């Protein structure tokens, strides 16, 4: 069963999330709870800046308080639960469409950065991890229903391995945080440069 995703439609919430540090914090918290100091180290901001970003994320339900650990002196945060989805719709108001496009662009930029880091580090990985890594692009010939079904099948394949769903105590000792990047979309016809667009 695939993880439920919450559609984002509030432009204020989307603009609050469309900040590179906040998206990086949210990505880090998918791996497990953390304090402002812990996420600050990963994201590259000060602990006070991380605290501010965490409060902003909490305001819109993207993160929440986690049960305390140890002596409980530091506030512990966790991911807000369900996954998120942002899909432009034909009837979006201009403000909503603008916020969606901004958020999608920043998410894609960060995904590209993550892939670049992986490529830069590829030669330093063990042969086992080099063999397991795939940097793949495929051109498909599908109708809209087939493309939608393909996305659902990919979600089903990935679901048992989601870091938020997998019990680490039941996983093998060699597990690592890894990433799948999937984009399915109809290509826009490329027109030769200099020719006017139809319509």
**Structure confidence by residue, pLDDT tens digits, 2-59:** 345 678 888 999 999 999 999 999 989 988 899 999 999 988 999 999 999 999 999 9
The CATH architecture to which 5-135 belongs is Orthogonal Bundle (1.10)
Question: What span, in angstroms and rounded, lies between the C-alpha atoms of 130 and 147?
Answer: 29
Q: What is the pLDDT of residue 167?
A: 85
Question: What span, in angstroms and rounded, lies between the C-alpha atoms of 161 and 179?
Answer: 10
Q: Summarize the confidence of residues 113-131 as an average pLDDT.
A: 95
Mean pLDDT value across the chain? 89
Residues 6+ apart with CB under 8 A from 87: 7, 100
More confident residue, 22 or 165: 22
At residue 74, the 3 state secondary structure works out as: coil
- What are the b/e assignments for 6-42, b being 16+ CB within 10 Å? eebeebebbebbbeebbbbbbbbbeeebbbbebbbee
Structure tokens at 112: 């590209």
Q: Which of 85, 84, 67 is nearest to 76 (CA)?
A: 67
* pTM, rounded to two decimals: 0.76
Q: Which of 39, 38, 2 is nearest to 23 (CA)?
A: 39
């Amino acid at each position: 069963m695939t993880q439920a995703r919450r559609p984002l439609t509030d432009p204020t919430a989307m603009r609050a999330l469309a900040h590179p540090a906040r998206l990086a914090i949210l990505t880090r918290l998918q791996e497990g709870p953390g304090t402002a100091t812990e996420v600050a180290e990963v994201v590259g901001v000060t602990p006070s800046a991380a605290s501010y970003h965490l409060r902003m994320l909490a305001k819109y339900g993207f993160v929440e308080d986690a049960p305390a650990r140890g002596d409980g002196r530091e506030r512990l945060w966790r991911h807000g639960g369900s996954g998120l989805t942002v899909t432009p719709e034909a009837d979006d108001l201009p403000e909503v469409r603008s916020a969606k496009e901004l958020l999608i662009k920043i998410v894609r930029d960060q995904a590209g950065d993550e892939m670049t880091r992986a490529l830069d580090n590829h030669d330093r990985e063990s042969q086992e991890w080099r063999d397991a890594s795939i940097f793949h692009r495929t051109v498909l010939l599908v109708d809209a229903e087939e493309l939608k079904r393909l996305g659902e099948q990919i979600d089903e394949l990935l679901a048992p391995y989601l870091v938020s769903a997998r019990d680490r105590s039941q996983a093998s000792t060699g597990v690592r945080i890894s990433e799948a990047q999937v984009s399915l979309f109809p290509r826009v016809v490329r027109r030769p440069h200099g020719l006017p667009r139809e319509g």
